[in-house]
Structure 1
Amino acid sequence: MADEKKLDADEKESHFTGRVSRRTALLQLGAGGVAATTYPLISSAETLSAEKSSDTDEAMVADTIPVRLRVNGKLLSLQVDPRTTLLDCLRETALLTGTKKGCDHGQCGACTVHVNGRRVNSCLSFAAMHENDEITTIEGLGQPGNLHPMQASFVEHDGYQCGYCTSGQIMSAVALLKEPCGPTNDDVKELMSGNICRCGAYPNIVAAIQQIRPRA
């Protein structure tokens, strides 16, 4: 209580005499000390953050490799992680999202594309393996208003339901046209067995393919 009364007296004295009280001086000194010690810490933290961000950006660039892919007739010069699959490169770097990621283990066929005219599961190979290869995705097969005959046949025969597997089904079906295949529906089913349709549209898919296949 005595200390509080003394502090009040000091404040009254400073008010009437214009002198700075001990309490005010101590408060000002403490605030100045805090500011003096805090600013270097903030500045240091900002500098470290900027350096870390710069290091991260440099590391990301250092960890990539240049890859030249010829996709749908266009030459793409890309920077990718050497572990990037062809599927992820097409979808995330080239922004061609028509090719779908299903199982990511080469079991469903949703990611089927053509490489040098042959169908492949793009999730099972690295983008860096296809330097200067001719790659065709569903976007390069046909476009609305100018559909590939196989695409038009899938539409005519309702060869899809949810549509997620459809791009892979069509890419496999187009490749099948150039492959040795018997004339029956079972022959077609055998060559299309790498493409799974969880909706069960298999009869319509086979019908669409059979309509486009050249007859002997």
Structure 2
Amino acid sequence: QINMTLTRHNAGQLQDVYELARRLGAVAVHIFMLVPVGCGQVLGEMDMLSPQGYEQKMLEICLLDGKGEIQMKVTCGPHYERIIRQQGLHRRPPMPRTSDVSQRNRPHIPGRTGHQGPSRGCLAGMGVIFVNHEGEVYPCGYLPVRCGSILRTPLKDIWLGNADLAAMRDSNRLEGKCGVCGYRTVCGGCRGRAYAATGNYMAEEPFCAYIPPQAIE
């Protein structure tokens, strides 16, 4: 697979990267949407696209993925899940008829049409959890909200009992336009970018251009 962090200076190369992946015989192109925390703060807003810019590029990724030749996966761009649904492209390709786990878990196979969805956007504290080298637990590697330590509390107890993790799993507690968005259960907005922008991990996604009809009323 080929990995790419989407920034202003390379956003125009998306089609070129796709063609490069085809020539090299890669099965996947994974696109990372920058989260301005940690080392990402060095890049910050100077290298990040505008919300409208991300919207345009994720639509482009969606259309490339729809060709079924190479898997196009967006990481830390939860609103991509909204876009593929708006385009009516959230189809799941048939699973291989095999009991071999290594085959079942392979990336999208060239020649199969449609997207790998349905899925959910932001998985912080819901589908993933991050434990650093000191045993401290965070909802994900891009959200510096400490949830406990496995040196003092079993990971299972942190996972099931931490209040911050519980909040992130409840889409009804999202704020701003994310809180009224009809796609909040499949997108949820990036909690890391919300935290970086406001200090509140339940705030609205700051790099989403979509305005839900409910937010206008």
TM-score range, shorter chain: under 0.3
TM-score (norm 2): 0.22
Is the radius of gyration larger for structure 1 or structure 2? Answer: 1
Structure number with the higher helix fraction is 1
